[in-house]
Amino acid sequence: MSVFESKKFDSHEGIHFFSDEESGLKAIIAVHNTNLGPAAGGTRLWSYENSEAAIDDALNLSRAMSYKNAMAGIPFGGGKAVIMRPEGAFDRTKLFTAYGKAIESLGGVYCTAEDVGVSTADMEVVRKETRFVGGLDHGNAASGDPSPVTAEGVFRGLHIATDHALGRPDLSGLRVAVQGLGHVGYSLCEKLSAAGAQLWVADINDNVIERAVRELGAIKVSTDAIHAQDVDIFAPCALGGAINPETIQHIKAKIIGGAANNQLASPEMGHMLKEMGILYCPDYVINGGGIINVAAELSGTYDFDWVDDKLNGLAKTLGDIFDQAFDQGMSTHEVADQMALMRIFAS
């Protein structure tokens, strides 16, 4: 099947392929929609089974970025990049130097920052080749890793969700299962613990789990059972597809809200959650804090108050989605999609 016939294509404006033999670079930059401005989205470094899987991931993620950026109220369209991790040892500096040149060749159509498998140090290498990058540690508008801001957005969103679903204005005493303790997931755990929540955690990295047990009093759970815990909130913060036909039947939480992208394996999962009485926080709404932070950097003058205001706007938008879904008897993901499309195509 060609890209144009793929169900994931969704009228992307452009899909750009880059390779560099010396560095081992094999990258795909997908630009979904630029109605609201240049495409913006992170870069993911991952070991894909094959190029088809990498393309599918880029298409899914870039489409989600169009929706995310629209709902975040920032002047950017949607794009995403994936780099197929070279087999064996490789030179990261050479790899990200080649990648930076690839971004520069697009002339500003796409702006990036770090995502899974990519660090601020990698972005500093990219910055030497192009100005179309954020998530930096150095520079006039640099604010570092945007992960803590993503976590803050999820944290604020969970307050809105618990108020709607549980009638609780705070998170104290609530039980939360967090799947994935990367930069965002661990930061979210810290915020939840400080707010008085009880934590159940799972990750493929035993070291970070032991740290959460030691520092936050978390309870360790296996990665294949974290979704099935008897908790109030399930927070997927790893890769996509956490809500799928196999896991959904075991979910006991009343609220699902986390930092992962593309949490629903299919739209049908969203409808099933509604029928089960589970409040789903659309992922591209609740996890928009990181791209808001990157947008502030890309403006050239980082403004903390602007970022904070946008985070509050995300929380309000999430509440509006819940209200509209309840009033119209719709699933929250349907309402969010409709709102996002109206913003994207309003012009």
What's the pLDDT tens digit per position in 249-270?
Answer: 999 999 999 999 999 999 999 9
CATH number assigned to the domain comprising residue 298: 3.40.50.720
* 80 is an active site residue: yes
What's the pLDDT tens digit per position in 147-161?
Answer: 999 999 999 999 999
What's the pLDDT tens digit per position in 177-186?
Answer: 999 999 999 9
Residue 51 lies in a domain: yes
Q: What average pLDDT does range 330-337 have in this prediction?
A: 98
Q: 25 and 119: one domain?
A: yes
Count of other CB atoms within 10 angstroms of residue 310: 22
Percent of the chain with pLDDT over 70: 99
More confident residue, 291 or 138: 291
* pLDDT of amino acid 123: 96
CATH number assigned to the domain comprising residue 30: 3.40.50.10860
Decide if pLDDT at 7 tops 90: no
What's the pLDDT tens digit per position in 35-58?
Answer: 999 999 999 999 999 999 999 999
The span from the CA of 306 to the CA of 12, in Å, is 30
Residue of 65, 45, 37, 38 whose CA lies nearest to 132: 38
Domain that holds residue 97: 3-63+77-127
Q: Into how many domains does the chain fold? A: 2
Its pTM stands at: 0.92
- Looking at residue 118, its amino acid is V
Catalytic position from the list 7, 8, 68, 80: 80
Residue 238 lies in a domain: yes
Q: 250 and 112: one domain?
A: no
Q: 54 and 123: one domain?
A: yes
Q: What average pLDDT does range 272-294 have in this prediction?
A: 97
Decide if pLDDT at 1 tops 60: no
Backbone angles phi, psi at 300, to 5 degrees: 95, -15
* pLDDT of amino acid 140: 82
Count of other CB atoms within 10 angstroms of residue 211: 16
The span from the CA of 243 to the CA of 235, in Å, is 11
Looking at every residue in the chain, the average pLDDT score rounds to 95
pLDDT class of 4 with cuts at 50, 70, 90: confident
Decide if pLDDT at 2 tops 80: no
